[in-house]
């Protein structure tokens, strides 16, 4: 169990240092990842910024993610699920545009212009507070590569083993402190897992 997101970040930072992971930029996924990402960026001596993505919900069941899209339009789709649910191209394109616009607006709240920092040739560590389906993480990973990142590492305190295996195929390295077989939700592994508001999350970027 992690006491809270800061505790998780401290422990994740220690593991990344132990593995000699190097980073030029650490990107947290708002909002919950920023308290985790701050100790990681400090420990690695890296700039802290954000990368934003929004899930694409299934028709009639918006809580079920059939994919995700990042603020730059980079998209990841769960193709087997899309096919199983017979999701149409028209629906996917409409939702992709809508969620990309939402993600871009959110990115602009966190930084001027909303664009990710210059990642060309950079070593990037993407941090989240946990990995459940992995949809948003995959869209964020794709955005980092699209922006020219040389190497991308995904670092999380806890992850669904199945999702972790899938995401690992899309990035250079994945670091997860815990991979519990009884994973149901990220929050079950935190003693305190309060919702992080935008204003609070932004303060971690100023530290």
Around Cβ 146, how many Cβ atoms within 10 Å? 14
- The pTM (predicted TM-score) of the whole model is 0.89
Strands annotated E in the chain:
25-28, 47-50, 53-58, 61-70, 75-77, 123-127, 151-158, 173-178
pLDDT of residue 84: 94
pLDDT > 70? residue 202? yes
Has residue 116 got a pLDDT over 90? no
User: ∠ at Cα 39 (33, 41), nearest 5°?
Assistant: 85
Domains annotated for the chain, with CATH where assigned, are 5-51+111-206 (3.40.50.2020), 54-109 (3.30.1310.20)
Instruction: Look at residue 177 and tell me whether its pLDDT is greater than 80.
Output: yes
User: What is the model's pLDDT at position 49?
Assistant: 92
Reference 9, options 115, 141, 171, 155; nearest CA is 155
Mean pLDDT of the chain: 91
DSSP structure string for 175-207: EEEE--TT---GGGGBS--PPPPHHHHHHHHH-
Instruction: Give mean pLDDT, residues 63-91.
Output: 91
Residues 22-31 pLDDT 10s: 999 999 998 8
**pLDDT of 145 over the 80 cut:** yes
20 pLDDT more than 80: yes
Residue-level pLDDT at 113? 65
Sign of CA dihedral 178, 64, 127, 25: positive
User: Which pLDDT belongs to residue 31?
Assistant: 83
Reply yes or no on whether the pLDDT at 199 is more than 90: no
The confidence band for 114, taking pLDDT boundaries of 50, 70 and 90, is low
Sheet with 75-77, strands from edge to edge, namely 53-58, 61-70, 75-77
Lowest-pLDDT range of 14-23, 45-54, 167-176, 191-200:
191-200
């Amino acid at each position: 169990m992690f006491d809270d997101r800061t505790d998780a970040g401290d422990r994740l930072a220690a593991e990344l240092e132990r593995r000699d992971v190097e980073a030029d930029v650490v990107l947290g996924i708002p909002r919950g990842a920023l308290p985790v990402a701050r100790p990681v960026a400090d420990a690695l001596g890296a700039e802290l910024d954000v990368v934003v993505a929004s899930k694409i919900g299934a028709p009639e069941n918006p809580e079920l993610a059939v994919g995700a899209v990042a603020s730059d339009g980079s998209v990841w789709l769960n193709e087997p699920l899309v096919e199983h649910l017979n999701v149409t191209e028209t629906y996917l394109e409409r939702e992709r545009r809508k969620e990309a616009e939402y993600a871009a607006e959110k990115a602009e709240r966190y930084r001027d212009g909303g664009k990710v920092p210059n990642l060309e040739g950079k070593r990037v560590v993407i941090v989240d507070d946990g990995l459940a389906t992995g949809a948003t993480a995959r869209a964020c990973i794709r955005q980092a590569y699209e922006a020219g990142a040389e190497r991308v590492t995904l670092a999380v305190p806890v992850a669904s083993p199945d999702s972790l295996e899938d995401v690992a195929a899309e990035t250079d390295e994945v670091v997860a402190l815990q991979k519990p077989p009884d994973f149901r939700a990220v929050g079950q592994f935190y003693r305190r897992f309060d919702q992080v508001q935008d204003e609070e999350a932004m303060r971690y970027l100023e530290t």
